[in-house]
Structure formats: C-alpha cells, structure tokens
Amino acid sequence: MNPLGLALAFVLFWAMIGLGLFLIFAGAVGIARREDTVGLLARSVAVQGSRQAVELVVNGVLLAVGVALAYGGAYATYMVIYR
C-alpha cells in the first residue's frame, strides 16, 4: 500500500476510535447524571417523564454509536496492520 494512503488510513481509523470513545464517554455521563426525581417546577409529570425517556434513549444511542465507531476503527486498524 502507498505510504501516504497508509498514513491517511491510520489518521482516519484513529479519528474513528477517538470519536467513538468521546461518544461512549458522553453517553455514559449522560446516563449517570440522569435525574430520576420530578422537580417541583410548574411542569406536568407526563412532560417531565417523556423528557427523561428521550434523554435516556439519546444517551443510549450515543453509547451504542460510540461503541460501534471505536470497534470499527480498531478492527480496521487491525486489518491494515495484520492482513
């Protein structure tokens, strides 16, 4: 493989790994900081519950996409080096 192509491939793969780890961290922190208590604000319980459900789904998607990106980048790096 062309050395320039190899270098660009590694930059791309490590960027995928870095973005994946960032998304894993963002999703995990979002899930850990999720508030289960309903505040005493002038909001209805249904709106508060649906907001928390949407936050949980979004953080779960961030976590799943992060794992997929990190795994894909690591596997692509492995394929370039050892195959």
Chunked into runs of 10 residues, the chain (83 residues) has average pLDDT values of: 87 95 92 61 58 84 95 93 86
**pLDDT of amino acid 42:** 46
**pLDDT of amino acid 10:** 92
Every domain of the chain and the residues it spans: 3-34+44-82
Helices (H) and strands (E) in the chain, counts: 2, 0
Tokens of 31: 């899930």
Tokens of 60: 């779960």
Phi/psi of residue 30, nearest 5 degrees: -65, -40
* CB environment 33-44: b (16+ within 10 A), e (fewer): eeeeeeeeeeee
**pLDDT of amino acid 14:** 95
Q: Which amino acid is at 35?
A: E
**pLDDT of amino acid 54:** 83
CA–CA distance, 6 with 51 (Å, rounded to integer): 45
**pLDDT of amino acid 40:** 42
